[in-house]
A and B are shown apart, each in its own frame.
Chain A
Amino acid sequence: MHRAGKLVLRRLVGSIPVLLIVLVGTFFLLELASGDAVDAYLVSTGGGDAALVETLRANWGLDQSPITRLGLYLWNVLHLDFGYSVLLNRPILTVVLERLPNTLLLMGSAVALSFGIGSLLGIAAGSRPGSARDRLLSIGSLALYAVPSFWLGLVLVVVFSVQLRWLPLSGIETLASGKAGLDRALDIIRHLVLPVGALALIYLALYLRLMRAGMVEVWRQDFVLAARAKGLSRRRIVWRHVARNALLPLVTMLGLQSATMLGGSVVIESVFSIPGLGRLAQEAVSGRDTPLLMGIIVISAVLVILTNLIVDVVYAFLDPRVGASEASA
C-alpha cells in the first residue's frame, strides 16, 4: 500500500505542470473567441447601456491586462471556480458535475464491455495465430474499427428502434415515468443498450488487436516453450501463461484511451440525446458559450489524469516489477 501511495503522489505532482499548460491553453483560446462574457451576457439579456457594460467589465475583471486576467483565471480555477455559464445561467462547475454521472455511466459500461469481449476475442484469435479463425477475427475487427461511432449509432437506431421497436430512440430514461428503484435502473439500462453498444463495438476492435498481438508475442517466449516441454495442455498454456502476460498492455491502453473515449462520447451523446458532458459541449458550441466549453475541456483533462492514475495503480498491482521501479525511481 505504501508503494502505491508513493506512486500516486509522484503522478499527482507530475501532472501539475500539465494541468497548468492546459489552463493557459484554454485561456488563450478563450481570448481568441470574438466577444467576451459581457457581450454574451448582453445578447442573452437583450442589451444594456454603455455604463452597465463598463461596470460589468470592471466587475468581471475584463478591463485588466491579459496577464492579470490569466492570473485571475488560474486563481479562480484553483478555487474550483470555472466561471459562469451564460447559456444556462448557472455556475459551470455545477452544470458539469450534474452531467458528469451520465457520461461516466455511458463510458464506464462501454469500456468494460469492449475490454472484456475484446480481450476474450483476442485470446481466441491469438491462441492459434494464422488460423482461419484468427484471420476472420482480425479482418472483422479492422472493419469495425473503420466504422464511425455516430453512424453505427444511427444504423442501430434504424434497426432496433425504428424497424423492430425493441429499444427506445433516445434519452437516458423515460421522462416523467415516475419509475423508481429497480424499475428505473432497468429503464436506464434499456436506454443505454444502443449507445453503449455503438461505442463498445468500435473500441472492442482495439483491445482485440492488442490482445492478439500480445498473445503472438508471448507465445514465442522461452517460458512458454518450457511449459510446452513440461507437457502442459494447450488450454492451460493459453490461459495461465500466455493470456495473463498478454493482458498487461491492454491495461496501459485503458489509460491512454480515456481521452479519446471522452471525445467519442460527444458524438454518441448527441446522436442519442443523452444529457451528459459531451452533449453539454455541443450545446455550448451551438449556444456560443465559449467559457462553458473551456470549463468542460479543463474538467475533462482532470478526469483523464485521474483515470490514468487509477490505471497506473492497477498496473502496479498486476505487475509488481513495474510498480516497484516506478516508485523507487
Chain B
Amino acid sequence: MMARFAKSPEGLFGAAVLAVLIVIALGAPLFFPRDPLSIVGPALTAPFTDWALPLGTDRLGRNVLAGLVHGARASLLVGFAATIAAIIIGASVGTIAGFAGGLVDEILMRIVDAFQTVPGFLLALAFVSVIGASLPVVVLAIALGAWTGPARLARAEVLSLRERDYVAAARVIGMHPAEIAFREILPNALAPVLALSAVIVAGAILTEAALSFLGLGDPNIVTWGSMIAEGRAVLRSSPFLSIIPGLALVITVLGVYLFGEGLAEALSRRRVRL
C-alpha cells in the first residue's frame, strides 16, 4: 500500500505539504517564542520591507509571520481533533444502528437525517454562541456537523459484515452483543470510514476558519480566520493582511485533499483510470 501511495504524484505532494505544516505547527513556540498577539513593531509594515518582520505587521503592529506560524497550530489541531471526534461519534452510532437494527436503527438514522437537514455551519454557529467560544467547544461544534457521513458509512459496512461467518462464530461462543459490535465488527468497518477522513479534515479546517472569521473562534489564540477578519478593516490600504493567511488556508486544505486522493487511490483495489 505504501508503494502504491508513493506512485501517486498528487498524494506525495500532499504528504509533503502536510509534513512541512506539521513541523511548522509543532515548532511554532521555538520559531516564535513570544505570544503572536504581542506588539513587535510599527503598525502596517508592508511585507518584504523589514528583514526582522518578513511578512510585515498588522494594524496593531503584530508580526504577521508569527501569527501565520501559530495559526497553523490552531488549524491543524482543530482539523484533526474535530475529525477524530466526528469519526468516533459517527462510527459508534453507525455501528450500533447497523448491529441493533429494528427500532434502534430507525431512531438513530432519523437523528442522522435531522443532523443532515440542519445546515452544519448554522448548527456550529448556534452551538458556539450558546456555550461560548473556546477551542474544545469549536472542535465539538464542527464535529456535530461532520459525524453523519461516517455514521452512514459505518452502518452500511456493518450491515454487510454482520452476516459473515466470524460474527456468527462469535455469537455461538456466547460473546456479548456489544462486544461483538465493537470488538469484532467495528474494526473491520473502519477502513472505508477512514478513507473519508481527509475530506472531513479539510472541511473542519475551512469551518473553523469561517467561524473565527465571524468572530466565533477561541479569542485567546491566533487563527488564520481571525487574521483574515482582522485584515478586513484595512482591506483597501493593506490587502496583504487578509490575502496572506487565506493563501495559507488554501495551501493547507489543498495539501489535505491531495494526500486524501493519494490515500484513496492506494486503498482502492481496482484503479478507475482509463
Among candidates A158, A216, A282, A305, residue contacting B239 with C-beta atoms closer than 8 Å: A158
B246 touches A155 (CB 8 A): yes
Q: Are A293 and B250 in contact, with the CB atoms below 8 A?
A: no
Tell me whether B110 and A17 are in contact (CB under 8 A): yes
**Is there a chain A Cβ closer than 8 Å to B222's Cβ?**
no
A148 near B125: Cβ-Cβ < 8 Å? no
* Per-residue B-contact encoding for A19-40, CB less than 8 Å = 1, 0 else: 1011001100110110000000
B116 lies within 8 A of A259 (CB): yes
**CB-based nearest A residue for B228:** A151
B28 → chain A closest CB, angstroms? 21
- How far apart are B149's CB and chain A's nearest CB, in angstroms? 11
Contact of B110 among A18, A155, A294, A304 (CB under 8 A): A18
B127 contacts across to A, CB distance below 8 A: 29
Interface string of B258-274 (1 = CB under 8 A from A): 10010000000000111
Contact of B242 among A25, A151, A293, A300 (CB under 8 A): A151
Asked if B257 and A130 make an inter-chain contact with CB atoms under 8 angstroms apart, the answer reads no
Is B236 an interface residue when CB atoms closer than 8 A count as contact?
yes
B12 at the interface (CB under 8 A from A): no
Q: What residues of A have a CB within 8 angstroms of the CB of B202 in the complex?
A: 146
Map CB proximity to A onto B206-250 as digits: 1 under 8 Å, 0 otherwise. Answer: 100110011110000000010010001001100100110010011
Are B243 and A142 neighbours in the complex by a CB distance under 8 Å?
no
Chain B residues whose CB sits within 8 angstroms of the CB of A260 once the complex forms: 119-121
Q: How far is the CA of A290 from the CA of B126 in the complex (A)?
A: 8
The answer to whether B118 touches A259 (Cβ under 8 A) is yes
Report chain A residues within 8 Å CB of B254: 142-143, 146
| Partner pick for A18 among B114, B214, B239, B249, CB 8 A cutoff | B114
Task: Report the bound CA distance from A242 to B174 in whole Å.
Answer: 52
A152 to chain B, nearest CB (A): 8
Contact of A162 among B111, B116, B129, B236 (CB under 8 A): B236
Contact B228 A263 (CB under 8 A): no
* A146/B253 in contact, CB under 8 A: yes
Q: Which residues of A contact B129 (CB under 8 A)?
A: 285, 288, 290, 293
Given contacts A285-B129, A304-B117, contact A154 B242 (CB under 8 A): yes
Given A216-B272, A266-B125, A150 contacting B117 (CB threshold 8 A): no
B20 at interface by CB-CB < 8 Å:
no
Give every chain A residue within 8 A of B117 (Cβ-Cβ).
Answer: 15, 18-19, 22, 259, 301, 304-305
In Å, the complex CA distance between A250 and B118 comes to 21
Does A115 belong to the interface (CB within 8 Å)? Answer: no
Contacts of A293 in B (CB 8 A): 125-126, 129
Is A86's CB within 8 Å of the partner chain B?
no
The total of chain A residues at the interface (CB under 8 A) is 56
Within 8 Å of chain B (Cβ to Cβ): is A270? yes
A286 part of interface (Cβ distance < 8 Å): yes
Interface centre among B111, B126, B210, B232, by most chain A C-beta atoms within 10 angstroms, is: B126
B50 within 8 A of A: no
B233 CB → nearest A CB, Å: 12
- Contacting pair A21 B111 (CB below 8 A): yes
In the complex, B35 has a CB within 8 A of chain A: no
1/0 per residue, CB under 8 A from A, across B92-130: the answer is 000000000000000000110110111111110111011
Output the residue of A18, A22, A147, A256 with the most chain B CB within 10 A: A18
Residue A297 CB within 8 A of the other chain: yes
| B131 contacts A by Cβ under 8 Å | yes
Separation in Å of the A18 CB from the closest CB of chain B?
5
CA distance A219 to B273 in the complex (A): 11
Known A-B contacts A148-B206, A150-B210; A297 and B246 likewise in contact (beta carbons under 8 Å): no
Q: Does A264 contact B (CB under 8 A)?
A: yes
Nearest B residue to A267, CB-CB: B210
Q: Give the CA-CA distance A145 to B126 in the complex, in Å.
A: 25
Q: Which of B116, B228, B235 contacts A150 (CB 8 A)?
A: B228
Q: Which residue of B lies closest to A33 (CB)?
A: B130
CA distance A139 to B125 in the complex (A): 31
- On chain B, the residues within 8 Å of A155 by CB distance are 242-243, 246
- Sample of 18 A–B contacts (CB below 8 Å): A18-B117, A29-B126, A142-B261, A148-B209, A148-B210, A150-B210, A150-B213, A154-B232, A154-B246, A162-B235, A162-B236, A216-B272, A260-B120, A266-B214, A281-B125, A285-B214, A293-B125, A300-B122
- Interface of A toward B, CB cutoff 8 Å: 15, 17-19, 21-22, 25-26, 29-30, 32-33, 129-130, 139, 142-143, 145-148, 150-151, 154-155, 157-158, 162, 213, 216-217, 219-220, 256, 259-260, 262-264, 266-267, 270, 281-282, 285-286, 288, 290, 293-294, 296-297, 300-301, 304-305
